[in-house]
Amino acid sequence: MNLDVELLSRLQFAMTIGFHFFFPPLSIGLGWLLVIFEWNGWRKNDESYVRIGKFFGKILALTFAVGVATGVVMEFQFGTNWAQYSKFVGDIFGAPLAAEGVFAFFLESGFLGLYLFGRGKVSKGMHWFSALMVAVGATISAFWILVANSWQQTPAGFIVQNGRAELTNFSEAIFNPSTLPRLLHTVDAALIAGAFMVVGISAHLILKNKEAELAKKSLKIAAIFGLIVSLMEVFPFGHLHGQQVAQTQPEKFAAIQGLYASENGAPVVMFALPINPPPELKARIAVPVPGLLSWLAFGDAHARIRGLNEFPKDEIPPLFLTFVSYHNMVVLGMYFILIMAITVYKLYRKTLWESKKLLKVLVWSIPLPLFACQLGWIAAEVGRQPWIVYKLMKTKDAFSATLSGGEVLFSLILFGVIYAALGVLYLYLLTKEINHGPEPAKEVAV
Amino acid sequence: MMEFLDVNTLRVIWYLLVGVLIIGYAILDGFDLGVGVLHLFTGDEHERRIHLNAIGPVWDGNEVWLLTGGGALFAAFPFVYATVFSGFYIAFMLLLTALICRAVSFEFRGKVDSQQWRAVWDWAFGLGSLVPALLYGVAIGNVMRGLPIDKDGTFTGTFLGLLNPYSLLIGVVSLVLFTLHGAVYLTLKTDGAQKEKLVRQIPALWIMLVVLYFLASAATAWTSPFLMDGVFSNPLFYVLVLLMGISLMGIPVLVKRAKYFPAFLSSSAAIASMVATLKPREEMRHTGIVIF
């Protein structure tokens, strides 16, 4: 049997990063909401927020543990499965990974220990500060990972010399053209994920009439927070990111927008089924505003957008996956704004607690931001293909050529089994924790 | 880069940094790996809880050293990183499996009140600690002994070849070293019968370590005499050996006098000097091995 090492390595990378990427967004989102809850608990001296903090703190700990466990794999996988890539970019790509360890993990894991184990042992101010450092650490971690990944999208600050990319300008490499737009868009997505989790779990507690008064408080804060971050995700962050892609990676932009032929005053395609070959959009429905895409991308309704026909055939990304994942992400993004707006409106009218249906919808919406994260990530990464570093190195030249197909198949199955088990265990323990609910008030007073 | 830093100076700085990370990792994650190994050898629920509580707040901070080390190696020596990691593929996959099982066992174990459930995570924690503790030495043993690498820097050996008797011996040294280190750490976190038990175990582990260390040194001189070239004319080597001897002796002496924290420092110093003695033996570069 002839096994394709490149394909297997790509599958393994997609699986391990995809699974891992369920957890960091939740950690970041929950982390920042805990900062707010613990602040209220400390400054308002309100015991109920301390209980909320304790409850969601447990969920954060569980999420963080699985995130760490699956994250370790990522740090090593570049070397094990992508040796040629590692040799080519190590000078640049390794630094942010090391920096993540030094500047983010030490902060995050150190203060998480203090946050989880230090309640009542350190001063309340110090305890709040440890919650803050957990959130800050998680966000800095996202920063360094996005620096590394953005450099793959829009490499900068280097020269190719001695058969490898060598660093010439550190800050240009770090703040390459896509770093900031992608950082803002991704971290905000994480905040949405955290907000939906807190809102959904709180809604569940209200529906089950378990510590409902407490859950109303956490829902209120998380819903308002969720509406703000959902709005910001589209404008300005999504918009800025879209503009950046249009300018720096026109092939990706054309693929995700379904623009197969160049157009002046291109419209925004809302729905279509991409067929290939030849590249074609079936059942295409566009927003009836002429030149909307051109205007959004370049601020000019008549601007010309380059279609896929302008690029070499072997340099365009897969069309179906990019188009479909991007468009579903956008649909979900709109849904987040809508559902949070309705929730906040009902909070304002004081009718939310009676709207059982809406509360149920909120419970079932918990995983949706995580799906949106996955879809966005797929659009970003598949949209970069066939390059592993845009215009510099192709994915097919990047994997570890010395591996045998059998070895990679073995590890793929190994991780598949472990991750399936971890996923089941996480969901089991999460539901157990949620159904157990916050600790009763008396125990907290001890 | 800055002009006064030429490539070789940078390389030395990175070299030292990677060295510090390797030693730092051994000292810090060493004791919590050791606690995990000891965990396999007790069936007592109270003792097991103490183990987990003793390292619960610190273990992930310690493991960061491993991640940072991986990143630093990637950044500083991409060829080493790529060659070693892809060459040791199956070994790394096993290490990762161990680390994953270990990482989640802390969080999962206490979540369900069932004896079988806890037993599963006790094993995950114990084996997830034993495997890295053993592989740490196996990796060092292989790097010291020399790796089959062709002129393109591609590893040409096999997984089973990495588990050669010499490297396994070094692996057992690191396993016992970390277990001893973990036992000394636990004396800080225990009392009563559990502490007395540890105080009894420490000398036994210590004797095992010393015997194994002499065996390993003899094996090194026998199988890889080139590693000894020039070592005895290097004054740094004698300083490190002296430091190692004193700090090794310090462990049982201080434990006996119930000075547990100094004993832990002594154990840390023993690890640092033991790993550092490997440094003057970097003559392996002359044997065609391009590591560092």
Q: How far apart are CA B59 and CA A129, in angstroms?
A: 21
Query: What ranges make up the beta strands (E) of A287-392?
Result: 304-305, 387-389
| Residue count (chain A) | 446
Q: Which residues of B touch A72 (CB under 8 A)?
A: 63, 66-67, 96, 99-100, 103
Kindly tell me the number of DSSP H helices and DSSP E strands found in chain B.
11, 0
Q: How confident is the model at residue B5 (pLDDT cuts 50, 70, 90)?
A: low
For the beta carbon of residue A105, count every other beta carbon within 10 angstroms.
25
Residue B287 confidence (pLDDT): 36
Closest Cα in chain B, distance from residue A65 (Å) = 6
- What average pLDDT does the segment A84-110 reach? 86
Q: How confident is the model at residue A201 (pLDDT cuts 50, 70, 90)?
A: very high
Report the residue from A69, A79, A81 with minimal CB separation from B100. A69
Q: Where are the domains of chain B?
A: 12-287
Contacts of B46 (CB under 8 A, 6+ apart): B194
- What average pLDDT does the segment B75-97 reach? 85
Which of B5, B10, B59, B60 should one mutate to test binding to chain A, selecting the residue with the greatest count of A CBs within 10 A? Answer: B60
pLDDT of A149-189, one tens digit each? 999 999 998 899 888 888 888 889 999 999 999 999 999 99
> Is B170 in contact with B138 (CB distance < 8 Å)?
yes
Q: Which residues of B touch A429 (CB under 8 A)?
A: 108, 111-112
Residue B230 confidence (pLDDT): 66
Question: Does the structure show a pLDDT above 70 at B1?
Answer: no
- What average pLDDT does the segment B46-71 reach? 82
- A236-245, A351-360, B151-160: lowest mean pLDDT where? B151-160
Residue B17 confidence (pLDDT): 77
- The residue of chain B with its CA nearest to that of A108 is B61
The A residues from 407 to 446 touching B (CB cutoff 8 Å) are 407, 410-411, 414, 418, 422, 425, 429, 432-433
Residue B152 confidence (pLDDT): 65
Report the residue from B73, B86, B90 with minimal CB separation from A402. B86
- A17-26, A357-366, A420-429, B64-73: lowest mean pLDDT where? B64-73
Q: How far apart are CA B142 and CA B150, in angstroms?
A: 16
Residue A147 confidence (pLDDT): 94
- A208-222, B189-203, B231-245: lowest mean pLDDT where? B231-245
Residue A1 confidence (pLDDT): 54
Q: How confident is the model at residue B285 (pLDDT cuts 50, 70, 90)?
A: very low
Q: Do A76 and B92 touch (CB under 8 A)?
A: yes
Q: How confident is the model at residue B231 (pLDDT cuts 50, 70, 90)?
A: low
Mean pLDDT, chain A, whole residue set: 91
Which of B3, B97, B107 should one mutate to test binding to chain A, selecting the residue with the greatest count of A CBs within 10 A? Answer: B107
Q: Is B288 on the interface with A (CB under 8 A)?
A: no
- The residue of chain A with its CA nearest to that of B53 is A117
Q: Quick one: how far is CA A1 from the chain centroid?
A: 37
> Is A424 in contact with A416 (CB distance < 8 Å)?
no
Q: How confident is the model at residue B11 (pLDDT cuts 50, 70, 90)?
A: low
Residue B2 confidence (pLDDT): 43
Residue A444 confidence (pLDDT): 46
Q: Is B211 on the interface with A (CB under 8 A)?
A: no
- What average pLDDT does the segment B200-211 reach? 92
Q: Do A86 and B74 touch (CB under 8 A)?
A: yes
> Residue B70's closest CA among A102, A76, A106?
A76
Residue A442 confidence (pLDDT): 63
- What average pLDDT does the segment A33-48 reach? 94
DSSP state of A288: S
Q: Do A105 and B56 touch (CB under 8 A)?
A: no
Q: Which residue has the higher pLDDT, A64 or B285?
A: A64
- What average pLDDT does the segment B43-68 reach? 82
- What average pLDDT does the segment B14-30 reach? 82
Residue B286 confidence (pLDDT): 36
Q: How confident is the model at residue A251 (pLDDT cuts 50, 70, 90)?
A: very high
Q: Is B75 on the interface with A (CB under 8 A)?
A: yes
Residue B191 confidence (pLDDT): 84
Mean pLDDT comparison of A368-377, B131-140, B194-203, highest-scoring range: A368-377
Mean pLDDT, chain B, whole residue set: 82
CATH 1.10.8, domain B12-287, yes or no:
no
- Pull the structure tokens for residue B202: 């420490």
Question: Does the structure show a pLDDT above 70 at B120?
Answer: yes
Report the residue from B68, B83, B104 with minimal CB separation from A98. B68
Q: How far apart are CA A316 and CA A260, in angstroms?
A: 11
Question: Does the structure show a pLDDT above 90 at A283?
Answer: no
Q: Which residues of A touch B66 (CB under 8 A)?
A: 72
Q: How far apart are CA A379 and CA A384, in angstroms?
A: 8
- A253-257, A328-332, A342-346, B229-233: lowest mean pLDDT where? B229-233
Task: Quote the percentage of chain B above a pLDDT of 70.
Answer: 87
Q: How confident is the model at residue B143 (pLDDT cuts 50, 70, 90)?
A: confident
Task: Quote the percentage of chain A above a pLDDT of 70.
Answer: 98
Residue type, B1: M
Question: Does the structure show a pLDDT above 70 at B205?
Answer: yes
Residue A247 confidence (pLDDT): 92
Mean pLDDT comparison of A98-112, A210-224, B246-260, B277-291, highest-scoring range: A210-224
Residue A277 confidence (pLDDT): 75
Q: Which residue has the higher pLDDT, A91 or A52?
A: A52
